[in-house]
Amino acid sequence: MTIAIVLGVYIAAMLAIGFSCRNARNAKDFLLAGGTLGPVLLSMSFVATYFSTSSLLGGGGSGYLFGFGFSAYLFFFHVLFAVLAWVIVAPRLRRVVQEEGILTVPQFFRHQFNSRVIQVIAALIIVVFFQLYMSSIYKGASNLLEITMGVSYPAGVAIVAIPVVTYTCMGGFRSVVITDLIQGIILLAGGVLLFGTIVVSMGGIGAGLARLASTPIGGGLTGEALMRLGATGPKELVDSGMMTPFLLSLTFAISVAQIASPQLIIRFFAAKDPGTVRKGMLLTPLLIAIFAFCVFSSGPFAHLFVQGIRDPDLVIPSLMRCVFPGWVSTLLLVAAIAAAMSTLSSTLMVAASSLTQDLLGNSSVPLTRLAVLGTGVIAPLIALRPIGIIVTIVGLSFSVISSVYLVPLLAGLYCHRPSRRAAIASMVASATTCVIWQLLVFRRLPVYPVVPGIIVSAFAYLSTDIVERTLAPKGAEEGAE
Amino acid sequence: MDVSIVIAYAAAWICLIAGMCYALSKKEGRQS
């Protein structure tokens, strides 16, 4: 009952924010909050969008199964790509989009590569794969509501979907970032509180590690195995020695999204000025490091508090119930729902803007609101009938989005004369590689498709660019499509 | 604890500090 009241108050607050931001004057106002975001809003919005329910529950829960090796490398890649996103991508991207009046990521590709084809490919990937990505977030959040509140699965989907679509539709990007701020504060406070409480109840990290080393964790192993890289996890992977490549590619695949995901880099478009980006460069990696360290490191220590959990998504909720009084764990479970909502609203906003701005070529605010409503309905419907293959598709969609965008984005930012043929070749090659790898290779070689996807993408771009420059007559200029 | 795990934790903090130093140097550079 308590969680229903807290969740009800929280959802009412989100809807009130959406209502208060309803007066968008033009497309820039609706899609980028007028390009007026300061450093705190920008950083918190980036953090809240990046960390979804799967980071909070899946990140901590997988640490419980795979040990400190998973937690440490996930933490390292999170910090590395947060720093790279803000140092390499943010300053240049903001400068280009502000100078040229660009409103979406596919529009940036069109401008840099002088190609409508690239804009359409980029927009189609967003519209299609984001629906699958959002459906997995709905599924995670609804499962959590099912367990904690006892509501039915479809009711859980509706409880999350209706407020998200409503406040995004009313308030656009401005309501998304303001709700992100609140959701980010809840999320960070929840992560720090969880880890702090665990450390205090263990009597310090050193004492906790010593106790964990002799604690049985199932399968005839003790906690000492959690402190060795690749020593715990699915038996066939551990026995075949493939656990370490699996862990490294998994943690890389999750973290690299920060540097190339459209729903994250769109935040750089909305920065008020260069000073805002510099302050964000300081603040965002710090916030990401604090959350990642606290939540991911809590997973292995959870063996001291809760034993025998097989579903990784249940580890953090069970840990919360064990170490906190009822009302605190209620607040923290709302943090997990907040994490889902912040990611959903940002992803929905990008999907809707790609549909109207990039595919339909229309920048009217009412049509974009209609697109938010239309695209916002599809993902919950997919989540209502989750098919077995959805896990594969979601893993694939995450890999496709990161690997398709990364190389053309960096080329568009840093090459003197970026090649549109090379960009198209790299996008098509990386998407194809990800699909083939996921369907045919992944079972035998458990390396996530994003890794070969990025390698093939870079190779395709460079080789096409070199061939093009070699064959092109001197002084020839590319024409626009 | 495996050395590789300790290195990953240490590398993350070093990376964070390096990023923050870079951001601060950009700030000071702009002011001067």
Per-residue model confidence as pLDDT tens for chain A (481 residues): 677 888 888 888 888 888 888 887 888 888 888 888 899 999 998 998 888 766 777 788 888 889 999 999 999 999 999 999 999 999 999 999 988 889 999 999 999 999 899 999 999 988 888 888 888 888 888 878 887 778 888 998 999 999 999 988 988 888 888 888 888 888 888 889 889 999 999 999 999 999 999 888 887 888 888 898 888 888 888 888 888 888 898 888 888 888 988 989 999 999 998 989 999 999 999 999 999 999 999 989 999 998 888 777 778 888 888 888 877 777 777 877 877 888 888 889 999 999 998 999 887 888 989 999 988 898 898 888 765 555 566 667 778 888 899 999 999 999 888 899 999 999 999 999 998 998 888 888 888 888 999 999 999 999 999 998 888 776 555 554 5
Q: What's the farthest any 2 CA atoms get from each other in chain A?
A: 74
Which of B3, B4, B5, B27 best probes binding to A when mutated, by most A CB atoms within 10 angstroms?
A: B5
| Same domain (yes/no): A297, A402 | no
Is A367 within 8 Å of chain B by CB? no
Closest CA to A90 of A264, A344, A343: A264
Cβ–Cβ gap A73/B30 under 8 Å: no
| Same domain (yes/no): A216, A255 | yes
pLDDT score recorded for residue A105: 92
| Same domain (yes/no): A328, A420 | no
Residue B23: its chain A contacts at CB < 8 A?
86-87, 278-279, 281-282
Question: Considering the domain boundaries, does residue A158 fall inside one?
Answer: yes
Closest CA to A10 of A143, A146, A169, A159: A159
pLDDT score recorded for residue A110: 93
| Same domain (yes/no): A358, A465 | no
Closest CA to A376 of A183, A165, A203: A165
Is A94 within 8 Å of chain B by CB? no
| Same domain (yes/no): A182, A214 | yes
Handedness of CA A402, A406, A408, A413 (dihedral sign): positive
Helix axes A105-113, A390-414, angle to 10 degrees: 40
Question: What's the rounded Cα separation, in Å, for the pair A339 and A267?
Answer: 17
| Same domain (yes/no): A34, A90 | yes
**Chain A residue at shortest CA distance from B4:** A229
**Chain A residue at shortest CA distance from B17:** A286
Beta-carbon count within 10 A of A207 CB: 11
pLDDT score recorded for residue A474: 66
SS (H, E, C) A229-297: CCCCCCHHHHHHCCHHHHHHHHHHHHHCHHHHCHHHHHHHHCECCHHHHHHHHHHHHHHHHHHHHHHHH
Burial of A475 (0-12, 13-18, 19+ CB in 10 A): exposed
| Same domain (yes/no): A434, A451 | yes
Domain boundary among A329, A360, A386: A386
pLDDT score recorded for residue A97: 92
Question: Considering the domain boundaries, does residue A374 fall inside one?
Answer: yes
pLDDT score recorded for residue A58: 79
Cβ–Cβ gap A83/B13 under 8 Å: no
Domain boundary among A354, A386, A418: A386
Interface of A with B in 284-303 (CB under 8 A): 285-286, 289, 293
Question: Considering the domain boundaries, does residue A30 fall inside one?
Answer: yes
* β-strand pairing of A221-222 with A216-218: antiparallel
Question: Considering the domain boundaries, does residue A435 fall inside one?
Answer: yes
Domain boundary among A348, A367, A386: A386
The ipTM is 0.91
| Same domain (yes/no): A65, A115 | yes
Cβ–Cβ gap A285/B11 under 8 Å: no
Tokens of A17: 């924010």
Question: What's the rounded Cα separation, in Å, for the pair A160 and A158?
Answer: 5
Closest CA to A257 of A428, A78, A378, A86: A78
* Position B32 confidence tier, pLDDT thresholds 50, 70, 90: very low
pLDDT score recorded for residue A405: 92
Return the bridge partners of A221, or none.
Answer: A218
pTM: 0.89
Cβ–Cβ gap B20/A282 under 8 Å: yes
| Same domain (yes/no): A335, A370 | yes
Is B9 within 8 Å of chain A by CB? yes
| Same domain (yes/no): A367, A422 | no
Instruction: Identify the CATH number of the domain in which residue A331 sits.
Output: 1.20.1730.10
Question: Considering the domain boundaries, does residue A98 fall inside one?
Answer: yes
| Same domain (yes/no): A67, A21 | yes
**Chain B residue at shortest CA distance from A69:** B5
Residue A76: its chain B contacts at CB < 8 A?
8-9, 11-12, 15
Residue A442's domain comprises 389-472
Question: Considering the domain boundaries, does residue A479 fall inside one?
Answer: no
For residue A217, what is the DSSP state?
E
Structural domains counted in chain A? 2
| Same domain (yes/no): A343, A446 | no
Q: How far is A79 from chain B (nearest CA, A)?
A: 6
Question: Considering the domain boundaries, does residue A480 fall inside one?
Answer: no
Question: What's the rounded Cα separation, in Å, for the pair A117 and A421?
Answer: 10
Handedness of CA A354, A356, A360, A362 (dihedral sign): negative
Cβ–Cβ gap A282/B12 under 8 Å: no
Question: Considering the domain boundaries, does residue A477 fall inside one?
Answer: no
Cβ–Cβ gap A278/B2 under 8 Å: no
Return the bridge partners of A465, or none.
Answer: none
pLDDT score recorded for residue B31: 46
